[in-house]
Each structure stands twice: as C-alpha cells, then as structure tokens.
C-alpha cells in the first residue's frame, strides 16, 4: 500500500497534466472534448479509486500467491522474459474480466463508472470502480502460476499494465496504421465506449487487440458511424460515488419488487440490462432508445463561479490525498481509514453541489464538522503540523469558508430556478 501510494504521488500530477493538455489542445483545434464538469467528475472518480486501493479496501477470494504456491510446475527466473510473460497473462486475464463485466448484471456494477461519461477523453480513463470489495478472478492468472511467475513480478507489472491503458482514451488521434493490428488504439477504444448498435460490447482488449480478433469480439471504427458515448441508462449525475452504486441499487430494488422467486435469484447473473418483466412494466427506468437523439446530462444553473469553486475544491482534494499517500505509514491505522472516509465524504459533498442539489450544503456542513472534529480531537491534521505548523488553522478556516460558499451557491441556484419557473 505504501509503495503504491508513492507511485501515485508521481502518476497523479502526470495524469492531471495530460488531461489539461488534451483540453488545451482541443480548445486550440476547435474541438474541446473535455467539458469542465465532466472532467472534474472523472478526476474525482480517479481519486476515490486510488484512495480505496492504497487503503487496501478489497480482499481476494483466491490470491495469486496462493495459486502459484500450489499449481506451479516450473519456476521461471525474474528476467525480462518473465516480465513479458506476466504482461501477456495479465492482458489475457484483463480481456476476460472486462468481457464478464460487460455481460453479467452483477459484475457490470463494478465497471459502469468507467463508461458513465457521455464524453470520450483522457479524463474518463480515470473513472474507475470503488464498488469492488471482493476480487474473484485470480484463476485467470493460472498460465502465469503454472510457469511459477513470482507474485512480486505480477504485483509490479499490474500497475504498469493499468497505466498503459490511459493514453488511448482520446478523440484526437486517428487510426495508427500497422499498430491497429497489434495494439488497442484510440480508434479501437472509441468503439468500445460507444453505445451505437454497431459498436456496443465490442473491443474488450486492454493492450493487445488480438484477443478480440481471436475470440470474435472485434469491431473496426466505421467512417460513416460516429461513436456516441455513455451508457444506455444514463447516470444523470456528476457524483462518482453515486454512479458506482446506481446499477447495484437498481438490481436490489428489482429483486425486491419482483413477485417471481426465480427472478429474485437469477437477476444477478442474467445478461447486463435484463430486468424481470413484472418490474420493468411497473417501474420503468430512463433508457436511451435513439443514440442519435438524446440530451446529454448537464446540471442546472452551472455558472462560472460554481466551476471555479469546484476546481478549488478539487485542488484542495488533490493536496489532501497527496499528503495521505506520502505519509500513510506515519498516519497508521485506524487513522488512515478515517482519513480515507473523509476523502469520500469530501468528494460526495462537492459533487452534489456540481449537480445543483439543494442538500449539497448539508453534505458540505457534515464534511466541515468532520474535518474540524479531526483537528480538535487529534490536535493537528493527522501529523501534518510537524511539516506545516499552520495547516490546522488553515484547514479549519477553509472548511468554514467552504460551507459558507456552498450555502451561497445553493441559494443562488435556488433563486435562479425560482425566477426561471416564474418566467415560464
């Protein structure tokens, strides 16, 4: 956890810089594919995901280390060949996990966040799940286990494999010649993120595109079919924490409401999107029927002031998370889990403001009380006073100010809504 946190201290600013560069490039070219609120929502999702990972908030039913200790028939040495084997096996496993996530109701919940953006850009690559607490698919790494690839190699290569999937989330790179036959390219992945009937549920590969070609799930980007991005049951929120559990909540409600005991059980393992007939009739959900004729989500009364304030909130979040990742061993347990819970609460609060939710001020107040409570109880901000003697006073003032500004913005939003209703 500590080592991964230190890696992220380098990776996070690099990813942020690349996201901002893509927005700047799109602005110069007259094709801005990175709307402000969508970008902040994606970056916030990335923060919650890596916070969960650094805190180790998941368990493996079957660990790779357990597997390799029991099935290895040979033990390869830790050379570049071993690393290559690990990379290919991880990519093979990634293809099948990805495909299962798309095809089965229960597993779709762990992946829906990644597809929830109605845009396609580098920022949306950072939309990763916080809803997976149990990892089930270590058995897909059996080829590496049989060869005795050391667990440390798998653990080292896995983040590299994940980070290598970032670059192709863009609309600014066209087809790439011979690489189209070997690697997943932006063109291939635009197809994967699209909800057009020609494209949906295609191109599951993560690094090497030949898995799709081998297993019959490949689709080329067509010159006359422009990809339309998102999910067919649109999220309708910028709040990444809400998005992470929307599908699971729908499954739970459907399982409760259906009168069929059989449907209560099988709904979890049916194809993604399947609902019991009686529930679908009585409790319809918003679904995009015509991908070329629907309105993308935009929160009500989004203003320049709100956008600026949300960016200030995001910058403070990144600083708070950076301190956690750089000092997690010093912070220790259980304080690091309290810190993590605060990060989630912080994101939830300003995401509700982004959505124009009138209860955002309530969430911001709870966040402020939690933050001030930590300072009062511990006497400083999780040991940060030793590095920055002024930090506790600054944060207390910031939390109070954040609550006041959020309340003011909610008031303005409500006033604008009332005026609009009167004029209509």
pLDDT digits (tens, 9 = 90+) for 298-336: 866 678 999 999 999 999 999 999 999 999 999 999 999
Give the whole-angstrom CA distance, residue 391 versus residue 375. 10
* pLDDT attached to residue 415: 66
28-48 pLDDT tens trace: 999 999 999 999 999 999 999
Residue 147 neighbours by CB under 8 Å, 6+ apart: 72, 73, 74, 75, 76, 85
Same domain, 94 and 203: yes
Residue at 203 is within a domain: yes
At which of 164, 192, 215 does a domain end?
A: 215
* pLDDT attached to residue 134: 73
Q: Which domain holds residue 348?
A: 304-423
Give the whole-angstrom CA distance, residue 358 versus residue 278. 34
What is the mean predicted confidence (pLDDT) over 363-389?
96
Name the band, by pLDDT with cuts 50, 70 and 90, for residue 410: very high
Q: Given a cut of 80, is residue 61 above it in pLDDT?
A: no
At which of 181, 215, 249 does a domain end?
A: 215
Same domain, 309 and 188: no
Q: Given a cut of 50, is residue 75 above it in pLDDT?
A: yes
Same domain, 210 and 343: no
Residue at 386 is within a domain: yes
pTM greater than 0.75 (yes/no): yes
Same domain, 145 and 18: yes
Name the band, by pLDDT with cuts 50, 70 and 90, for residue 247: very high
- Give the chain's length: 424
Give the whole-angstrom CA distance, residue 339 versus residue 44. 16
């Amino acid at each position: 956890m500590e080592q991964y946190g230190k890696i992220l201290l380098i990776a996070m600013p690099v990813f942020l810089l690349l996201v901002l560069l893509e927005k700047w490039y799109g602005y110069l070219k007259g094709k801005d594919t990175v709307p402000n609120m969508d970008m902040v929502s994606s970056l916030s999702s990335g923060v919650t995901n890596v916070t969960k990972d650094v805190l180790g908030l998941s368990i493996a039913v079957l660990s790779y280390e357990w597997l390799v200790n029991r099935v290895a028939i040979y033990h390869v040495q830790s050379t570049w060949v071993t690393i290559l084997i690990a990379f290919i096996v991880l990519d093979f496993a990634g293809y099948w996990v990805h495909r299962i996530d798309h095809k089965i109701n229960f597993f779709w919940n762990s992946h829906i966040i990644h597809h929830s953006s109605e845009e396609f850009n580098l920022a949306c690559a950072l939309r990763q799940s916080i809803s997976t607490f149990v990892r089930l698919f270590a058995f897909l790494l059996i080829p590496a286990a049989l060869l005795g690839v050391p667990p440390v190699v798998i653990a080292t290569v896995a983040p590299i494999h994940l980070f290598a999937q970032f670059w192709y989330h863009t609309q600014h790179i066209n087809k790439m010649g011979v690489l189209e036959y070997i690697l997943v390219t932006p063109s291939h992945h635009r197809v994967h993120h699209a909800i057009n009937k020609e494209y949906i549920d295609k191109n599951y590969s993560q690094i090497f595109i030949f898995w799709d070609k081998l297993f019959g799930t490949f689709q080329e980007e067509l010159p006359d079919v422009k990809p339309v991005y998102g999910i067919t049951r649109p999220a309708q929120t910028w709040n990444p924490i809400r998005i992470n559990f929307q599908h699971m909540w729908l499954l739970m409600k459907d399982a409760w409401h259906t009168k069929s005991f059989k449907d209560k059980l099988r709904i979890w393992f049916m194809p993604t999107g399947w609902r019991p007939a009686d529930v679908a009739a009585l409790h319809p959900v918003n679904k995009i029927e015509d991908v070329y004729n629907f309105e993308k989500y935009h929160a009500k009364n989004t203003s320049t002031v709100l956008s600026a304030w949300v960016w200030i909130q995001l910058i403070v979040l990144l600083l708070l998370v950076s301190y956690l990742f750089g000092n997690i061993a010093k912070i220790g347990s259980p304080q690091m889990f309290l810190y993590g819970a605060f990060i989630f609460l912080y994101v939830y609060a300003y995401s509700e403001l982004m959505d124009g939710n009138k209860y955002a001020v309530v969430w911001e107040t709870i966040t402020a009380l939690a933050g001030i409570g930590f300072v009062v109880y511990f006497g400083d901000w999780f040991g940060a006073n030793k590095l920055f003697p002024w930090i506790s006073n600054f944060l207390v003032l910031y939390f109070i100010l954040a609550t006041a500004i959020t309340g003011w913005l909610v008031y303005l939003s409500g006033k604008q809504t009332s005026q609009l209703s009167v004029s209509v």
